[in-house]
């Protein structure tokens, strides 16, 4: 096999691993509930592929090949376990499934169940997103750890603990019943959005957590949409993230300078991403069930309109925020509402909205201070504005945002 053939084989393995990882893990652990063993088995299968495929060629059905190899590895693993008696049912189950399994790729897509398991109420909410990133996308603990600002060892331990809880805690691999579906789905959506982590990207109020996982979050939302095409909020979330992602390039100027949304050159926004976002939003709206993510996407959609009309319809944004604060009165939403009111009517009105928030709650919430500073400055209250700017700068993590705010402060 020539070098370039080998290279293309490696690329195929990477692509199959990326596209099939979650499907394979979900299927492998859907009966045993043993996520860690399923992941180990799949990684063994991928190692085997790296030696076999370049030699024998890529199998006709790579996914089925990986599944078979992973399954063998899983059976070996269970056999070698000391607790042979306890694991006998598992082994039996695997054997039976093996018999049914032929080399066709026709195995059920269990990723939805796995997503619901990852965001199960019995699992620490802080671990919902890391679990999804690892089990569905195959990201390693170190990468996840950096994004969530914990040490790789700690993240590794937390992931192990969460998987043990899934295996031993009686958490069922199932799609929740109609009755509890909205709430459970919300946890899944929240977890995906947490990976995206843009929070709120106006006036240099930025929550940086997990921001380098934006593409992974979009991927997760696409996976969710594949398995839940009927849910309006899934499309709402995807539309929201696509709108924000469309502006990625415009957010930074020369030398990495931070550019706030209102000053971005809309010519630099990605029109295909905006168009895709709009499609999902329209499709979601046609289902007649509005929700938090659709409203947030609608706000971003109004901002995106500027690319066409050259202006921002703040009144429309305020209306969406009013609905949003009713169903999801988070600090981010309330701060965004205040900023929009400040633009649509007057800075005093914006400040009045901010003043309804308990100061205790915002002592470490950066966007609040950024918006407050901006509104005070527009009112000409220089010294109060400077105080608020300082708080916003001091709470910022991104040096470019810090620089931007310090310049604004004057």
Partner 1 sequence: MQFALLIFEPPEAFAARTADENDAYLGAWRAYHKALIGAGVLVGGAPLQGPDTATTVRLKEGQRRVQDGPFADAKEQLGGFTILEVPSLDAALDWAARCPAASVGAVEVRPLSPEYLRRVTG
Chain contacts with partner 1 (rule: CB under 8 A): 149-150, 208, 363-364, 387, 389-397, 399, 402-403, 406, 409
Tell me the closest approach of the beta carbon of residue 235 to partner 1, in angstroms. 32
Residue nearer to partner 1 on the CB measure, 257 or 326: 257
d(CA 42, CA 297): 36
Tell me the closest approach of the beta carbon of residue 107 to partner 1, in angstroms. 39
Residue the block writes with tokens 């018999």: 99
Region of residue 140 (left: phi > 0; alpha: psi -120 to 50; beta: else):
beta
Tell me the closest approach of the beta carbon of residue 352 to partner 1, in angstroms. 21
**DSSP 8-state symbol, 269:** S
Q: What share of the chain is helix, strand, coil (3-state, %, to 5)?
A: 75, 0, 25
Residue nearer to partner 1 on the CB measure, 108 or 256: 256
Tell me the closest approach of the beta carbon of residue 371 to partner 1, in angstroms. 16
Residue nearer to partner 1 on the CB measure, 163 or 391: 391
Residue nearer to partner 1 on the CB measure, 196 or 389: 389
d(CA 284, CA 390): 41
* DSSP SS3 for 261: helix
Tell me the closest approach of the beta carbon of residue 333 to partner 1, in angstroms. 21
Residue nearer to partner 1 on the CB measure, 38 or 131: 131
Residue nearer to partner 1 on the CB measure, 192 or 392: 392
Tell me the closest approach of the beta carbon of residue 173 to partner 1, in angstroms. 30
Question: Is the distance from CB of 353 to CB of 337 less than 8 angstroms?
Answer: yes
d(CA 72, CA 52): 15
How many helices (H) does the chain have, and how many strands (E)? Answer: 19, 0
Q: Is the dihedral of CA 347, 260, 403, 354 positive or negative?
A: positive
């Amino acid at each position: 096999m020539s070098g370039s053939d080998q290279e293309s084989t490696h690329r195929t393995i990477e692509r199959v691993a990326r596209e099939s990882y979650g499907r394979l893990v979900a299927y492998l652990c859907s009966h045993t509930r043993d996520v860690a063993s399923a992941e180990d088995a799949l990684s063994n299968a991928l190692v085997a592929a790296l030696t076999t495929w370049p030699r024998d060629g890529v199998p006709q059905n790579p996914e089925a090949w990986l599944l078979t190899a992973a399954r063998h590895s899983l059976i070996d693993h269970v056999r070698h376990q000391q607790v042979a008696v306890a694991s006998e049912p598992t082994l039996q189950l695997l054997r039976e499934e093996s018999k049914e399994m032929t080399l066709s790729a026709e195995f059920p897509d269990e990723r939805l169940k796995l997503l619901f398991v990852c965001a199960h109420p019995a699992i620490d909410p802080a671990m919902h997103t890391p679990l999804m990133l690892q089990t569905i996308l195959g990201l390693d603990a170190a990468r996840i750890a950096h994004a969530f600002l914990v040490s790789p060892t700690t993240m590794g331990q937390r992931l192990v603990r969460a998987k043990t809880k899934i295996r031993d805690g009686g958490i069922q691999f199932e799609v929740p019943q109609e009755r509890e579906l909205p709430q459970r789905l919300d946890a899944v959506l929240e977890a995906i959005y947490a990976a995206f982590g843009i929070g709120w990207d106006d006036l240099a109020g930025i929550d940086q957590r997990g921001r380098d996982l934006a593409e992974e979050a979009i991927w997760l939302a696409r996976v969710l949409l594949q398995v839940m095409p009927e849910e309006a909020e899934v499309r709402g979330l995807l539309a929201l993230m696509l709108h924000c992602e469309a502006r990625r390039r415009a957010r930074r100027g020369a030398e990495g300078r931070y550019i706030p949304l209102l000053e971005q050159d809309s010519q630099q926004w990605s029109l295909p991403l905006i168009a895709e976002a709009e499609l999902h939003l329209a499709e979601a709206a046609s289902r007649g069930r509005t929700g938090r993510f659709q409203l947030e996407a609608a706000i971003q959609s109004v901002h995106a309109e500027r690319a066409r009309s050259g202006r921002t319809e703040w009144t429309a944004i305020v209306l969406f925020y009013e609905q949003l604060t009713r169903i999801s009165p988070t600090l981010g939403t309330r701060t965004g509402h205040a900023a929009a009111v400040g633009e649509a009517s007057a800075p005093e009105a914006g400040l009045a909205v901010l003043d309804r928030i308990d100061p205790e709650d915002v002592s470490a919430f950066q966007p609040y201070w950024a918006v407050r500073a901006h509104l005070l400055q527009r009112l000409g209250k220089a010294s109060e504005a400077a105080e608020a700017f300082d708080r916003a700068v001091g709470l910022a993590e991104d040096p470019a945002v810090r620089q931007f705010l310090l310049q604004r402060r004057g």
